[in-house]
Structures are given as structure tokens and as C-alpha cells.
Structure 1
């Protein structure tokens, strides 16, 4: 039920109550005023453009047709048939302590839970060091093979740009020495004049675990 439908139903119930209940004396003006205020609020809400955006049945001006290049349109048509499909499953990649240390040196994040195996063995609840969450995230281009020049999934593109991330979560830590791999599902395509944004859901698995190391919604802008 939309917001507007919900408010309409509340107004209808309120009016039905006025018909069936005998209100006397000083309560009449108060309830009448409440009904009028409710109707006014409902009218203001229905005229609010924000409500129009979330209510698919609310009348609003039609959007102008999007003009895109033939190359972008062809790309969109090609990949649209693969929406909600797994488009890639990668190979296992081991994240060792040396890799973790290198990432710590580059980022300056040298917290002991990542870089001190002896202390982590004694004090960490995981019994060993773990990879930085952002290290796992930074490995996504490698894990998804999107930086392999010999295996370009978008050969028709003029240029590819990492446009960003819609959301990222790290459900479970990656212990040093564990192997991870990525599975990619295409979840959205957003066309523009000379580009298409490819939105993928990337799930990073840990070998031997039912928990995911990372779930990220990535946005790759493909230019033509």
C-alpha cells in the first residue's frame, strides 16, 4: 500500500466513525476540527512532489525520452538479457601475511590484529591475524578478473572507469593464509548518452567457510 493510499484509508475510517458514533456537546467542535485538519494534511501530502516520486500511481509529468548513442544502446540490449544472472565466478586467491603486511604499509593501518601474528594468536578471538576489510575490497578487480587485458568482457568499450560503490559489507573476517574468490551477479544497467553504468553484486567467498568475506555493489562506467 502506498503512502497516499494509507492516508486515504485512514481518512475513510475516521469519516465512518463520525457517521456511526453520536458525539454530543463540547466534543463536536474538537472532533470536527480534527477531521478538517486531517483532510487538509492529506491534501497537502498528495500534492507533495516527494510523495509523487514514491507512489507509482500518482500523476506526474512524463520524463523525456533518453537519447543514447547506438553503441551504448547495443551494449545495453546485449547485457540486459543477463540481468539477475551470475556473469562471473573466479578462481581461489590466497591472502597471506606478506600481502596483509604490504597493505598495512601502504595504508598505514598497522593494527596488531592484522600485523602481529604472535599477539593475535594469544589475544585475537580468531586465533590469528586477519586481513583488512579494505584489502579484500581492493582485491575485487583481481578477483573478478576485470584487470586482465587478455580477457576483456567489454571489448566494444572505448574506456572503462571504476565509478564507485553503492554499498559494502564485510560479514566475516579473512584469516591470514585463507583463500578467497569472487562471484559476480549483474543487477542493474543504467544507460547514458555515451556510456552505460554496469552495476554488479560481488560476493567474496572464503574457502571452507559458509560466511562471506565481503559483499559489494560495484558500479563500472563503460564508455563508447
Structure 2
């Protein structure tokens, strides 16, 4: 056997052994592939999950919102004007009489007809306040009225085409409001956030009771002004 034939024979034997070795490993690789597929399938499902993908988009939207600036000319003008008032009292409302009839109507609508609100005789005898008192949520619900945000002729944001109540950051009721008391609200602008087509306004509202040094309600309201 010459050298060329020897090399050819060795190469053929090597290829045969290599093919046999690969054939023996193939089932093992299939098992490993199956295991990896099962392991990563939940992750794949998670990435394709519409709820989680929506959440991730929401996070991106929030990040984008934080970088947004006022774009419409009317909103930009309003933002500049309002930004000069941050930290200042922007409105002092008129006195509003919170009588027993108003309290009774609110109690009926909300199904909160506790005697401390609706029974003047019992309240005079048993209540520590010696009178019926307004629901805390009634006082809170009067904030749009007390701050004139629902009065077309005295709206504090006359240039806004629409004002939306976006929510509350925090609310406290330090002292109750007795029936037939008069209340009013002071508004202090504490924060502004420029949006694409609107301005988010955070106000601190302090509801006063006539003749009392203690506040009936202190709330941070969040409004969206659209221009």
C-alpha cells in the first residue's frame, strides 16, 4: 500500500467514525433542545403577553410624558402665565351656606344617613358637637363650586376650552362643619406639569369655616386644562 492509498483509507475511516459519533449525539441534542424550549417557553409567553407588553408600553409612555413640553400656542401661553403663580394664592371664593337641607340631600344620594348628619334633635343631645355636621365628602364635593371652576362667568381658567377633574393627591378633614355654617375655599397653586395638549395643575385647597380658626378640609386637587 502506497502513501496515497494509506491516507485515503485513514480519511475514510475518520469520516465514518465521525458520522457514527454525530449519530450517537443527535438524540441527546434533541432532548437538550426540548428541555431548553420548555425552560424558556414561559419567558417567551411573558414577552408576548399582551398585558405585560401593554404595561411596558405604558412605562415608555410615562417616560415620554415626563419629557413632553407644551406644544400648542394657547397652552404654552397659559403655562407661562400660570408658572409665575406657583406657590401663590390664586383664588379666594365667596362664602357658601351649608344648610341642613343640603346635608340631607347629600345623605340621601350617598345613602349615608347617620344621625350625626340628619337628626338635629338627637345630635343636640348626644353629639359632642351639639349639632348635626356635614359629611366630609360633602365638603370635598363642594370644592368645584367653592373654587369657581364650574362657574362659566367666573372661571379661573377662562382660556381653557375644557377643564377635567383628574383626581386628588391627598385629603384631610381636620374639623367638622356644623349644619348652617358658611364655608369658603382658598386656592394655592403648588405644581404645574406641561402635557402635549394640556396642562396638569395641582392646587392646594383649604376650606375655611366662618368664625373658626380650624380648617374643614385640606386637599390637593389635580386638574387637566385643555387648550
Q: Paired residue for 2:142?
A: 139
Q: Deviations over 1:103-134 (max 9, x none)?
A: 00110000010001111111100001000000
Q: Paired residue for 2:209?
A: 206
Aligned counterpart for 2:119 among listed residues 116, 120, 124:
116
Give the gaps of 5 or more residues in structure 1: 1-62
Does residue 215 of the first structure (1) align with residue 218 of the second (2)?
yes
> Number of aligned pairs?
162
Partner SS for 1:77: helix
Higher helix share: 2
RMSD (Å), alpha carbons: 1.4
Q: Deviations over 1:110-165 (max 9, x none)?
A: 00100011111111000010000000001111111111111222222221101111
Q: Deviations over 1:35-57 (max 9, x none)?
A: xxxxxxxxxxxxxxxxxxxxxxx
CA contact (8 A) 2:69 2:194 kept: no
Give the gaps of 5 or more residues in structure 2: 1-64
Q: Deviations over 1:29-87 (max 9, x none)?
A: xxxxxxxxxxxxxxxxxxxxxxxxxxxxxxxxxx9852431332221111100000000
Does residue 89 of the first structure (1) align with residue 130 of the second (2)?
no
Does residue 169 of the first structure (1) align with residue 172 of the second (2)?
yes
Q: Pick the structure with greater CA Rg.
A: 2
190 and 65 in structure 1: CA distance in 2 versus 1, 3 angstrom threshold: closer
TM-score of the pair, normalised by structure 1:
0.70
TM-score of the pair, normalised by structure 2:
0.69
CA contact (8 A) 2:144 2:150 kept: yes
Partner SS for 1:216: strand
Alignment of 1:168-207 (within 5 A): 168-207=171-210
145 and 112 in structure 1: CA distance in 2 versus 1, 3 angstrom threshold: same
Alignment of 1:8-157 (within 5 A): 65-69=67-71, 70-157=73-160
Partner SS for 1:208: coil
